[in-house]
Amino acid sequence: MSDIVLRTEDLGISFGGLKAVQGVNLEIKKKQLYGLVGPNGAGKTTVFNLLTGVYQPTTGTFYLNGEELKGKTQEQINRKGIARTFQNIRLFNNMSVIRNVLVGLHNQKEFKCNPFVSLFRLPGHYKTEAKMRERAKEILRIVDLEEERNNLACNLPYGKQRKLEIARALATNPTLLLLDEPAAGMNPHETEDLMRIVRKIRDDFDMTILLIEHDMKFVSGLCDEVTVLNFGTVLAQGTANEALNDPEVIKAYIGE
């Protein structure tokens, strides 16, 4: 029981009369790579938004390592250990690559630094900055972006921007990493590379990862377990092969 990282109970939200998501029950175990798939508009990103506090659920609740996080703000949830990437990339475009990651490191206990320490340039400031830089470089190394660290985020090619988002999320030292379509817009070669990185993150950091993806090869090649959503409800759950070959799922994707 204790190795369940994320548990949702009957999670749901409705906008006006529209039930965007309802009755989602997930159980994600430690170090699991968990996929969330479904056709467009199935409510996948909405689930992410619920889990990160962008929306507040109208029904149900969710727990991270047994602690209820419903009702917390985005900032609080991030500090509790859920980090995410965005479907439409949301980098800090006018900052260099390394600074994007440094922002991710902002709340780490080891890098605490009172604003007044920085204002008055006490030695603590320099110590923290140097440590943060070292750590940021380490993280960038994992996603192969160390060389690019002084480039502007907005000047990176698309695939690298996606990787930078992952690095930035990783920098917040999460227990659970939510990746929203990480392979979207990547060519097969880049996708391969990304799969390797995701596995490496899981192994190196003992990370639990929940990801949304349309690329079925990516999902089936990577995920241990999969939940299929359609019209906001769970259509199928199980191992990647089971779920994706479920006749209901095939119907939902291909139509009647």
Partner 1 sequence: MIKSILKSDDFKIKNCINYMVIAAALVVLVVLYNAGELKASYANLLVQIGYSIILAVSLNLVVGFLGELSLGHAGFMCVGAYLGTFISMQLSDVIESKVICLLISMLCGGLLAAIFGFLVGLPALRLKGDYLAIVTLAFGEIVRTVFKNLPWFGKAMGLTTGAVKFTKKDTPLFIIVFITVLVVLFFVQNLVRSKHGRAITAIRDNEIAAKAMGINVTFYKLFVFVIAAFFAGVAGVFYGHYTTPVMYTFFSYNYSIEILVMVVLGGMGSINGSIIAATLITVINYILQKELPGELAALKFLIYALILIGIVIFNNAPKLSPIKERLSLKVLIAKLTSKNRKPEDILNDPAHWDKIPTKIAMDEVLSTDLQPGNEYVPDKPAKGGK
Partner 2 sequence: MSILFDGLSLGAIYALIALGYTMVYGIAKMLNFAHGDIIMVGAYAVFVTLMGGGHIALAIGLSVIICVVMGVVVEKFAYKPLRGASPLAVLITAIGVSYLLQSISQLVFGAEPKTVTIASLGTVSLFGATISVSSIVTLVIGAVIMAGLTLFVKKTRTGRAMVAVSEDKGAAMLMGINVNRIITITFAIGSALAAAASLFYLMQIPSVEPTLGSMPGIKAFTAAVIGGIGSIPGAMLGGVMLGVIEKICLSVPVLAPYTTAVEFGLLIVILLVRPIGLLGKKRREKV
Tell whether residue 88 is a contact of partner 2 (CB under 8 A).
Answer: yes
Residue 167 identity (one-letter amino acid): A
Q: Which does 88 bind (CB under 5 to 8 A by kind): partner 1, partner 2, none?
A: partner 2
Pair 193, 66: CB distance under 8 Å: no
Q: Which does 78 bind (CB under 5 to 8 A by kind): partner 2, partner 1, none?
A: partner 1
Q: Which residues bind partner 1 (CB under 8 A)?
A: 13-17, 52, 54-56, 58, 73-75, 78-79, 83-84, 86, 90-95, 99, 102-107, 111, 113, 115, 118-121, 123, 125-130, 132, 152, 154, 168-169, 171-172
49: contact with partner 2 by CB under 8 A:
yes
Task: Please name which of 109, 119, 127, 209 lies closest in space to residue 166, comparing C-alpha atoms.
Answer: 209
Choice between 103 and 234, CB closer to partner 1: 103
Using rule CB under 8 A, residue 45 touches partner 2: yes
Closest CA to 165 of 88, 51, 81: 88
For partner 2, the closer of residues 135 and 168 by Cβ is 168
The CB-of-19 to partner 1 minimum distance in angstroms stands at 8
Q: How far is the CB of 111 from partner 2 (least distance, A)?
A: 27
Q: Which residue number, 103 or 142, has a Cβ lying nearer to partner 1?
A: 103
Is the CA virtual torsion 130, 132, 134, 136 positive or negative? negative
What distance in Å separates the CA atoms of residue 161 and residue 27, rounded to the nearest whole number? 30
Alpha helices in the chain (DSSP H): 44-51, 74-80, 97-104, 115-119, 123-142, 158-171, 188-205, 216-222, 240-244, 247-254
